[in-house]
Structure 1
Amino acid sequence: MKPLRWWSDTDRFKFCTLYLIAVFACIFSFSAAGQTLPKLVLIVVVDQLRGDYIDRMKHRFGDGGFRYLLDNGLNYSNAHFRHGSTFTATGHATIVTGGNAPEHGIIGNTWYDPVRRKPIYAVADPGHKIVGESGEFLVGASPRNLLSSTIGDELVTASRGKSRIFSVSGKDRSAITLAGFLGKAYWYSMKSGHYVTSDYYHNNLPRWMSSWNAKDIAKVRKIFDWVLSKKRASYMFEGRDDRPEESDYFGLGRAFPHRMKDVDQSSFYQVLLATPEGDQVTLDFVKELLSSEKLGQRGYTDMLAVGFSSTDLIGHMFGPDSLEVEDNLLRLDRTLSQLFSAIEESVGLDSTLIVLTADHGVGEIPTIRAKTGQLAGVIDTENILKKVNAWGRKKSSALQDVGLALLSSNLYLDSSLLLESGWTTEKAEDFLAAKLIDIDGIARVYTRHDLEAGRLPRDVISARVARSFHPVRSGNLLLVPESGYNFVTPGIVVPASHGTPYNTDTYVPLLFTGPEIQSAAIHRRVGPEDIAPTLAAYLGIKAPDGSIGEVLKEVLSGH
């Protein structure tokens, strides 16, 4: 037998080095299939892109946008959010966490803090000032209200900080939720037309960002006329223009052509986001970001989230079945094509995993729906609050203004007044629920104590409401309007809306394409909650802390 040979220090160093390389390769790779990671993960969220839009328009799309995704990947055609709080901030939080309000805490764009007696904006943070813009009206911003890690956070953690996450959107609440805690978020300023951030991410703007802002990409669009991109006769909604139910948004007008020179110039940058050019400005910024930050070109998987916001504002102002929405979808298709071309040039589409979805759907303008004989209407939130306070005063002289706020379908009560009156919170909730259900347009009222105890009817709507409830941030009563009804706030003109647990608001597209993903149409019920755990499985990393979704097996079938 040959004597044992002890390793030298050099041998041990070589072994340890190779061993560590192998370990990290196993941790941060597709170990099961021997696949290398994609260079870039691209998450595209189109605000208010209802799930049926793509199917009804697909025969009119070009080759490089939606058709690229449909022809080269998976189309989950029956995707619905599991929650009923179909608001922008909530939907974006769900997409990247894989959870709903009980897990990520974002119950709406705004909720109410009954202790501090003030509304809370989903991404507001006075401790982190806006960078890139100044003004006393500006409130700082950060992801501090998010209660779960995101898929981007998990990617950065798994790569030991080597992967980078960037998020860009027309709205702050979209960009910040998509970026999570460890990414960088940038969003469009409706004051200046520039892109801004907060000192949570940067103390000063990156040099490339300052240079981009100096070009005033949005300002040059003051001479823009939004005209139809095709012959009017080719549109399915050619006759749905200049309808009295639509909004003349700051002078944008209700009929084509929409001329930017006619709008209230003090609101120009806000109005621009309500046209297809708003998404073009976002695209231009994204292209600069891709080039300057060299995403996907450093040997580690990077993630880019892009939120296109114009579809939402256009849908709100003109309604889902309008000529404006139809033309915008054609233009959005070209915007996506340009985005994918930029990805191809900088990273390569064959090295990019792409997910496209939306944060919520939208319902028809109630007055237009009512003309068809369907149930429809609006519910004045201020009027509800007045009724609640009047009922409280009749019940007890101590209950002056017991109703504090009605935000994101949540009605908040003053617990201190209830305590003084000797009326228990549970009895107050039951009493008011019985009154509220008689208001025209209110379909259901859920009390906090029933939601906490799980005493709910076993139906889809109740399940979605339960997935919208947070034990700390939600109100005492959760109100659900009848299908076709919208909550409205006096002074805020939004003809078409969302925010309900009905299919028209929960229905969104869900498309995947990337390395080893086969083309197929999948019709079973899935949800955006499944995006984060599926990406985690694809990347070989841990799912976010609040993830309750399921892994979509078709995305992994090639691995």
Structure 2
Amino acid sequence: MQKNIFLLGIFIFLLSFQKEIIAQEKPSLVVGIVVDQMRYDYLTRYYERYGNDGFKRLLNEGYSLENAHFNYIPTYTAVGHTSIYTGATPDHHGIIGNNWYDKFLKKSIYCVDDSNYSSVGTDSDYGKKSPYRLATTTVTDQLLLAQNMRGKSIGIALKDRSAILPVGHTATAAYWYEGKDKGHFITSSFYRNDLPIWVTDFNKQQKAQYYTSKPWNTLYDIKTYKNSTADNSIFEGVFTGEELPIFPHDIPNLKKENGNLSIISETPFGNSITLDFAKAAIIGENLGKNKDTDFLAISFSSTDYVGHKYGVDAIETEDTYLRLDKDLADLLKFLDKEVGKGKYTVFLTADHGAIRVPAYLDSLKIPAKYFNTRKFKTFLDSVSTKHFKSTELVENFSNYQLFLDKEKITTLGLKLDDVAEIFANELINFETISKTVTAKTLRNTNFTKGILNVLQNGFHQKLSGDVLLIPNPGTISGKRTGTTHGSGFSYDTHVPIIFYGNGVKKGASKKHYEITDIAPTIANLLRIEAPNSTTGKIIEEVFK
């Protein structure tokens, strides 16, 4: 009898101890960090130059996935942010680009534009936004649902889409930057009808004016930037008004011809003002100070703007990451102080990578080309004329997708699937195209690996085009300076994923993981339901 009472006592003690441990493990605040256009190798390439308290702190004290990839095409900003937070690919969540052709409205649309709502904090239309085109829930939605709408979920970025899509439909707020002559953060009436006092106070500080009042010079002696090509490179872009892409960049005198306060986006200081605003949000909203878990989604966008202008190998890009490293160190120390060490969880990733400038690769005899839109249009018309005696069968070509004019095809007595197949068979012969596939094939065939599997994950039956094209590896559209992204090749898909803080162990993995694994992993950490269309898996090895 005494033995049974003793065992019962131990059981009750262990049960209460387990409950206490569970209560301790749940973070007060989750901070999701997306670094726009961050290739994985920026972690290793600049590692020796980083300080100990930014990227290195996350790597050395957190859990890093070294072989993580996006698993769909197209690798664009809106799609990336959405897939990270939904745990789903575009075939489920419905955000198939930044912009795409809407075959029902017969026009190109932008992913978060919504005229049903008004701007808050500005007299322009730049705040008329919402996440209504997002067809699924996000992990941030699921957190608030699990807490009976208690807690707060806030998105912050320079870009509207990068602030809005991560925090889904139930967010407390999303804030983004308006440049030009404004230089402040705004929102939409989708979230609220006025700016909180803390946002108004922040905007009054005129931080954008401060950051753009001085030249952009290198953080360290320019001779120490050995990981980058020479400063004056023909493969780099320039600001309007500059003759050469060299330091220092005279930001105060370049503002007038480069969008005034919008210029901050194309400098490392766009990340700094984002950090400043995030810190103001943590204090102003008391994030991490309540019984329920809060969520802060931060996107650092300047890395993308700088990358597009200068490319992967520029000193400007290296300098931007060295400065971002200091900003991350600042953020982590701030979280230690305001929320408390061990009381918050962070994950850091990117929305896509980037290709090295094809013109630079070509100069090194590495296969790399430019997709010539004008030549392609001529080729497309010749195919259409040859087979159908008409150039009016293609309604739109964008994002490497053909949208066919179904009414015209019917009028000519043709069948849509037959026309699509002819275009697919002919367009494969264009010089910079490596694969073509019809919507019918993607509907009826299950590709389980390779580039067609990645394309299929990005194909939305209702929204996508009738014929989809894949350019050759190393091929982009655009100028011969700077870089871009969008493909399903490794330079665009391989990105960092690091988990850090509450509930996360130290370590690293070389296993293959996908970007859609982040949301279910965070959901499991928080012990909530994953987003409703999640296809990713829980990364068990991340947890303590």
TM-score normalized with structure 1 length: 0.90
Q: Deviations over 1:516-536 (max 9, x none)?
A: 422111110012211110011
Equivalent residues in 2 for 1:486-505, closer than 5 Å? 486-488=476-478, 495-505=482-492
2:56 aligned residue (67, 82, 103): 67
**Secondary structure at the residue paired with 2:212?**
helix
| CA 239–384 in structure 1, closer or farther in 2 if over 3 Å, else same | closer
The equivalent of 1:429 in structure 2 is 420
Q: Which amino acid aligns with 2:485?
A: H
| AA in 2 matched with 1:506 | T
Distance apart, 1:207 and its partner CA: 1.7
What is the number of residues matched between the two proteins?
Answer: 525
> C-alpha offsets along residues 493-517 of structure 1, whole Å, 9 cap, x if unaligned?
8731110010000010000011242
Aligned to 2:79: 90
Which residues in structure 2 correspond to 1:258-297 (within 5 Å)? Answer: 258-266=249-257, 267-297=259-289
Q: Does 1:524 align with 2:511?
A: yes
Aligned equivalents of 2:127, 2:290: Cα separation in 1: 35
Provide the C-alpha distance between the structure 2 equivalents of 1:152 and 1:364, rounded to a whole number of angstroms: 34
Which of 432, 443, 447 is residue 441 of structure 1 equivalent to? 432
Counting only pairs closer than 5 Å after superposition, residues 15-414 of structure 1 correspond to structure 2 as 33=22, 35-135=24-124, 138=126, 140-183=128-171, 184-191=173-180, 192-237=182-227, 239-251=229-241, 254-266=245-257, 267-397=259-389, 399-414=390-405
Is the alpha carbon distance of 1:369 and 1:31 closer, same or farther for their aligned partners in structure 2, counting shifts above 3 Å? Answer: farther
Q: Cα RMSD between the aligned structures?
A: 2.0
Partner of 2:531: 544
Residues 418 and 162 of structure 1: CA distance in aligned 2, closer, same or farther (over 3 Å): same
Structure 2 CA distance for aligned equivalents of residues 135 and 154 of structure 1: 32
Query: Structure 1 unaligned runs (5+)?
Result: 1-24
Aligned residue type for 2:465:
G
Q: Residues 84 and 506 of structure 1 are in contact (CA less than 8 Å); yes or no, is this contact kept in structure 2?
A: no
What SS class does the counterpart of residue 312 from structure 2 fall into?
Answer: coil
Range moving further from structure 2, 358-367 or 428-437: 428-437
Contact in 1 for aligned 2:36/2:350 (Cα 8 Å): yes
Counterpart amino acid of residue 222 in structure 1: T
Contact map agreement 2:234 2:481 (CA 8 A) in 1: no
Tell whether the 8 Å contact from 2:112 to 2:132 is kept in structure 1 after alignment.
Answer: yes
State the shift of 1:168 in Å: 0.2
- Aligned-partner Cα distance in 1 for 2:215–2:514: 38
Give the percent of matched residue pairs that are identical in Structure 1 and Structure 2.
Answer: 33
Deviation at 1:262, TM superposition (A): 3.2
Q: Please state how far the C-alpha of 1:37 moved relative to its aligned partner.
A: 1.5
Alpha-carbon separation, structure 1, partners of 2:213 and 2:480 = 26
Tell me the CA shift for residue 41 of structure 1: 0.3
8 A contact 1:385–1:403 mirrored in 2: no
Per the TM alignment, residue 188 of structure 1 is displaced from its structure 2 partner at its CA by 1.0
* Structure 2 residue matching 1:249: 3-state secondary structure: coil
Q: Deviations over 1:247-300 (max 9, x none)?
A: 113336511111102324151222211110011111111111111111011211
SS in 2 for 1:356: strand
Q: Which residue of the partner structure matches residue 509 of structure 1?
A: 496
Counterpart amino acid of residue 294 in structure 1? N
Task: Provide the secondary structure at the position in 1 that maps to 2:240.
Answer: helix
Scaled by the length of structure 2, the TM-score of the pair is 0.92
Asked if 2 retains the 8 angstrom alpha-carbon contact of 1:84 and 1:502, the reply is no
Greater Cα offset, 499-508 or 434-443: 434-443
Does the 8 Å contact 1:80/1:506 carry over to 2? yes
Q: Quote the offset at 1:460 in angstroms.
A: 1.4
Counterparts of 2:338 and 2:428 in 1: how far apart (Å)? 56
Partner of 1:22: none
Q: Please tell me whether the aligned partners of residues 167 and 305 of structure 1 are also in contact (alpha carbons under 8 angstroms).
A: yes
Give the secondary-structure state (helix, strand or coil) at the position aligned to 2:179: coil
Matches within 5 A, 1:445-456: 445-454=436-445, 456=447
CA distance in 2, matches of 1:383, 1:194: 42
AA aligned to 2:294 is: D
- d(CA) in 2 for partners of 1:515 and 1:197? 31
Q: Is the 8 A contact 1:317 1:496 kept in 2?
A: yes
Matched AA of 2:54? G
Residue identity opposite 1:65 in structure 2: G
Give distance in 2, aligned partners of 1:282 and 1:550: 31
Structure 1 window deviating more from structure 2 (439-448 vs 92-101): it is 439-448
Deviation at 1:326, TM superposition (A): 0.9
CA contact (8 A) 2:357 2:480 kept: no
> Structure 1 pair 239/368, CA: closer, same or farther in 2 (3 Å)?
closer
1:18 is matched with: none
The alpha-carbon distance between structure 1 residues 30 and 96, as it changes in their structure 2 partners (threshold 3 A), is farther
Asked if 2 retains the 8 angstrom alpha-carbon contact of 1:30 and 1:539, the reply is no
Report if the CA contact (8 A) 2:25-2:503 is conserved: no
Displacement of 1:210 after TM fit? Answer: 1.4
Separation in 2, partners of 1:462, 1:114:
23
Shift of 1:321: 1.3
Partner Cα separation in structure 1 for residue 19 and residue 267 of structure 2: 42
Aligned to 1:420: 411
Contact 2:311 2:481 in 1 (8 A): no
Q: Deviation digits for residues 352-390 of structure 1, max 9, x if unmatched? A: 100000000000111111011111111133543443244
Partners of 1:451 and 1:99 in 2: how far apart? Answer: 18
1 CA distance for matches of 2:434 and 2:228? Answer: 35
Q: Is the 8 A contact 1:110 1:407 kept in 2?
A: no
Question: How far has the Cα of 1:195 moved from its partner?
Answer: 0.7
Separation (CA, whole Å) in 2 of partners of 1:468 and 1:282: 30
